């Protein structure tokens, strides 16, 4: 039975205030919701990115748990190594037999979809018990809003600029959640930082699934999305309501939708609130790109419903 809000409020704070993440950033909200989902001691590995640099401004830290910074590509390799050491030390009697720790890695989409995918795939295949959380703001925000393979088709970034010769990014984003589900690990899910019940319930399952777990969390970035900071929660919810970012889980191979919008909204409702898509609302070319995006979202949504037994 998932905890209620009152019970979550009693969980010790593991990521404190005082960090320097931007107002409206979805990352600290998502991370705190994940960390509230277990009462067990937690060890965190954190790849380079916005979340890492902004929570550890030397000589200060916002972390109240054991925490290790590693390079972009190493989050999964590091957290699986820590977990392996823990298992070995317990077997040698150096850690009490009744100790019961949980291990979690946080990394952005650049460190997960691109640079760290090899390490993540290997750690999942080896079967370590850890939770990997991708804080997905759909670009390399920490180094100047360069496109990643999580950036949406048509999005303006500094390395996929919109202009007279380009409609923005020319490729659709990689479906990493489905790739992780193809590893046949115990638990895989997608969520957003704006629906705390959805994310915490998934994190509770992930922590206790007994093996590798992966959660891909859409975390709006006011800077890179060129959006009002006060709109972050609404933008995440719109992504779910437009089925641009469906909420679902794959538990021991069983696919399940965890949120079905009462009315599936057109993607324009989501796009028009973000400056990175502003160019798509000018002229026939922009209209054609939006139509292609809507077709892509509709196709992926129907395929997902089939996998979840909803079609």
Residue 4 — pLDDT band, cuts 50, 70, 90? confident
66 token code pair: 């054991």
Residue 67 has pLDDT above 80, yes or no: yes
Separation CA 155–CA 251 (nearest Å): 32
Please state, in angstroms and as integers, the Cα–Cα distance from residue 84 to each residue in 15, 81, 90, 91, 287, following that order: 25, 5, 10, 11, 52
Q: Residues 55, 62: contact at Cβ < 8 Å? A: yes
**How many Cα atoms within 13 Å fall on the side-chain side of residue 234?**
12
- The percent of residues above 70 in pLDDT, for the chain, comes to 100
Q: What pLDDT is stored for residue 132 in this prediction? A: 98
- Helix, strand, coil fractions of the chain, as percent rounded to 5: 40, 15, 40
Average pLDDT of the chain to the nearest whole number: 96
Span 138-154, pLDDT tens digits: 999 999 999 999 999 99
User: DSSP letters along 24-45, please?
Assistant: T-SHHHHHHHHHTT--S-EEEE
Mean pLDDT throughout 124-137?
98
Separation CA 138–CA 118 (nearest Å): 19
- pTM score, whole prediction: 0.97
Residue 2 has pLDDT above 80, yes or no: no
Q: Residues 245, 75: contact at Cβ < 8 Å? A: no
Mean pLDDT throughout 235-247?
98
- The percent of residues above 90 in pLDDT, for the chain, comes to 94
The conformation of residue 114, written as its DSSP 8-state character, comes to: I
Separation CA 19–CA 204 (nearest Å): 25
Number of H helices, E strands in the chain: 12, 10
Length of the chain as a residue count: 311
Separation CA 71–CA 92 (nearest Å): 30
Span 160-215, pLDDT tens digits: 999 988 999 999 999 999 999 999 999 999 999 889 999 999 999 999 999 999 99
Separation CA 233–CA 195 (nearest Å): 8
Is the bond into 59 cis (omega within 30 degrees of 0)?
yes
Q: What pLDDT is stored for residue 226 in this prediction? A: 98
User: DSSP letters along 75-93, please?
Assistant: HHHHHHHHHHHHHHHHHTT
Span 78-122, pLDDT tens digits: 999 999 999 999 999 999 999 999 999 999 999 999 999 999 999
């Amino acid at each position: 039975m998932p905890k209620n809000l009152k019970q979550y409020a009693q969980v010790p704070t593991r990521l404190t205030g005082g960090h320097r993440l931007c107002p409206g950033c979805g990352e600290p909200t998502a991370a705190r919701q994940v960390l509230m989902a277990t009462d067990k001691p937690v060890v965190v590995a954190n790849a380079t990115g916005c979340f890492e640099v902004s929570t550890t401004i030397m000589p200060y830290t916002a972390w109240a748990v054991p925490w290790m910074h590693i390079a972009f590509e190493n989050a999964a390799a590091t957290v699986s190594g820590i977990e392996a050491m823990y298992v070995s030390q317990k077997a040698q009697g150096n850690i009490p037999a009744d100790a019961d720790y949980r291990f979690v890695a946080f990394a952005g989409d650049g460190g997960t979809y691109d640079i760290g995918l090899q390490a993540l795939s290997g750690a999942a295949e080896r079967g370590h018990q850890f939770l990997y959380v991708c804080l997905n703001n759909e670009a390399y925000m920490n180094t100047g809003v360069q496109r990643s393979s999580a950036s949406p088709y048509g999005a303006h970034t500094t390395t996929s600029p919109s202009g007279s010769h380009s409609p923005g990014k020319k490729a659709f984003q990689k479906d990493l959640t489905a790739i992780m589900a193809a590893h046949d690990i115990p638990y895989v899910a997608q969520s957003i930082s704006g629906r705390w019940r959805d994310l915490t319930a998934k994190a509770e399952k992930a922590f206790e699934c007994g093996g590798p777990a992966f959660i891909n969390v859409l975390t709006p970035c006011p800077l890179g999305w060129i959006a009002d900071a006060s709109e972050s929660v609404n933008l995440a919810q719109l992504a779910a309501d437009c089925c641009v970012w469906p909420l679902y889980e794959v538990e021991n191979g069983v696919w399940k939708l965890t949120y079905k919008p009462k009315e599936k909204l057109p993607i324009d409702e989501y796009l028009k609130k973000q400056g990175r898509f502003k160019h798509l609302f000018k002229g026939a070319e922009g209209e054609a790109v939006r139509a292609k995006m809507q077709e892509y979202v509709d196709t992926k949504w129907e395929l997902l419903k089939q996998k979840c037994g909803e079609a």
